[in-house]
Amino acid sequence: MQLWRERELLELLLFKLEEEQLLLAAGKSRWIQFSTREIEQVIERLKASGMARVVESEAVAEDWGAPEGATLRELIDHAPEGPWRDVFSEHLRALTQLTAEIAQLRDANEQQLRVALRATQETVASLGIDTGAYTNQGDRARDDSARIVDTRM
């Protein structure tokens, strides 16, 4: 059951990342903060689920004679002949596939966010508006001081 929960959470994370991608593609940056928060919430639930899986895996590893701290792959190697080996192998395959899809979508979203940030920065710079750079003390930076490195440090 713990592996099913983890799979469902990974599917939910994949959905939330696709949702974020659609918002980015539609230019709906207004909602990105909510999307990001939902993604973070799913990741927190995944962390808790992962810890619960470790606890459950320890009991299974002990029953099957696998080493302490055995991975899912090692549990499969020590699984008794029959359905358990097939069930765990299917979970491993699904978890691996979902993880690969999540990584790919995360990278694509990150790239879209970087492009959007760059476009926003270029737009603001082209307006000739002073963006109000500040020093590390919170004072307004002088016009002749560096914008990236505070030369008065």
> Residue type at 113?
L
Residue 113 burial (10 A CB sphere; 0-12, 13-18, 19+): middle
Q: Which residues does 72 contact at the CB level (< 8 Å), separation at least 6?
A: 3, 57, 88, 91, 92, 95
> How many whole angstroms separate alpha carbon 133 and alpha carbon 138?
9
Angle at 54 between CA 98 and CA 2, to 5 degrees: 55
Which of 5, 25, 35, 14 lies closest to 100, judged by CA? 14
Cβ neighbours around 116 below 10 Å, total: 14
Please state, rounded to an integer, the average pLDDT across all residues of the chain. Answer: 87
pLDDT digits 0-9 by tens, 121-146: 888 777 776 656 667 777 766 655 45
Domains in the chain (CATH in brackets) are 2-127 (1.20.58)
Residue 110 pLDDT level (bands cut at 50, 70, 90)? very high
Residue 103 has pLDDT above 90, yes or no: yes
Angle at 120 between CA 112 and CA 113, to 5 degrees: 15
The residue ranking higher by pLDDT, 126 or 19, is 19
pLDDT digits 0-9 by tens, 28-56: 888 999 999 999 999 999 999 999 999 99
Residue 151 has pLDDT above 60, yes or no: no
Q: What pTM was computed for the model?
A: 0.74
Residue 136 has a pLDDT of: 73
> How many whole angstroms separate alpha carbon 67 and alpha carbon 83?
21
Residue 148 has pLDDT above 70, yes or no: no
Residue 8 pLDDT level (bands cut at 50, 70, 90)? very high
